[in-house]
Each structure stands twice: as C-alpha cells, then as structure tokens.
Amino acid sequence: MNDKKYLIVGLGNAEQQYAGTRHNYGFEVVNALAQALRAEFKTDRLAYVARANYKGRTLVMIMPTTYMNLSGKAVKYWLATEEIEPDHCMVVCDDLDLPVGTFKIKPKGGGGSHNGLLNIIEQLGHSNFPRLRCGIGKDFAQGYQVDYVLGRFSSEELKRIEPCINQAVEAIKSFTTAGLQRTMNQFNTIEKNETSHNHNLNTNTL
C-alpha cells in the first residue's frame, strides 16, 4: 500500500437535477479541492475521478456516479484499485446535525441517517474511515427531511457556505500532510469558534 496516496470522496447525486442541493455538499467541497489543485474530473468506473499531487502526496478525488445510496460501491472499488488503506480515505458529506456554515471531522463512526455513509459502511464491512461532515442544519417540519436535503440553500445560507467550503478544502489538504489528529485539533476548533459567534444556531448537537 502507498502511504502517500489518499482517496478523497465527495458524496452526492450525479444527475443534473441534484446539482447545488444540500445533499450534494460533498460534491461541492471535493470539486473546490480539485479546482484548488488544478485537477480535472473525468468519467471513470462508478465515479468522476480527478488526480493531483500535493506536497509529495497523491490525491485521488472521486464523486460517485451511482445514486447516493450506492456510494459504497465506488469507494470500495477505488480503494482497492488504488491500493489505499481506509484510514487514508476522507469521505465528505452533508450533515443535518451541524449548523449551516460549520463542519466537523471525525475519525470513524456510524452512518446515522445518511444513506451514502451507511452504504459505504455496508460495502467496506466497517466504519473506520475519516469523514468530514458539512452542516446543512435541519430547518424542516417533521416528515419533510427528503424535501429539505434535496432542496437548495437560501442566499443567506450561501454566504455562510462559501467560507466553509474554503476551510474544508484546507482541512482536507492538512489531513494529507499533517495527519488526521492534528487536522481535527486545528479545524474542529475553528468550527466551534464559528458556532459560538452564531448564538441563534443550535449547537447542542456538536
């Protein structure tokens, strides 16, 4: 296994009608990462794939072209094809339990209600892979979760999303060079500081 190679996975739905929706947050972050590294996505097996070198590391970035609930097929395939260990795989996804404009990095854990994470865990047979969870909030009435995650951010929310995406890109780059623990210490602290300035946001779930 190549200990200087990393798989960065953005979760979303590849069909055009889902572009820009809350559930495609992972795509947005990984696309921004590819742009920052001047890498271009090409259609490949089960995913759009881009490659870049960064400070001696090789980053393989994928956006699965399966439906969200089959994302694990692409992750399993590309981990095996590129000979990358799961602890060198960062999965970027949306998260209902975090306020808009924040993100949190975790080393492992369950999938909660996120069908993409659940399928990755099912396909890999374990949940020991880092994930970067981007907050989309949960400002919806009971029973309207699907409509909410497949909806688009308001203009006010987008003002908070853009700097969050930029920070997430820096966090992923840090993950590949400084390691997971140091990256969590640095960037999860930023996330807490940001939420402390937004008293109107629900931070109980952080």
> For the residues of 175-192, what is the DSSP string, one character each?
HHHT-HHHHHHHHHHHHH
| Tokens standing for residue 56 | 């001696």
Place of tokens 């109980």: 204
3-state secondary structure of 40: coil
Spatial separation of the C-alpha atoms in residues 119 and 67, rounded to whole Å = 11
The residue from 23, 114, 126, 197 that is catalytic is: 23
23 is catalytic: yes
Write out the H or E segment, with its range, that includes residue 8.
strand 5-10
Cβ atoms within 10 Å, residue 131: 25
**Three-class HEC string of 13-37:** CCCHHHCCEHHHHHHHHHHHHHHHC
Question: Can you tell me the distance from the alpha carbon of 70 to that of 66, in angstroms, rounded to the nearest whole number?
Answer: 6
Which residues belong to the active site?
Answer: 23
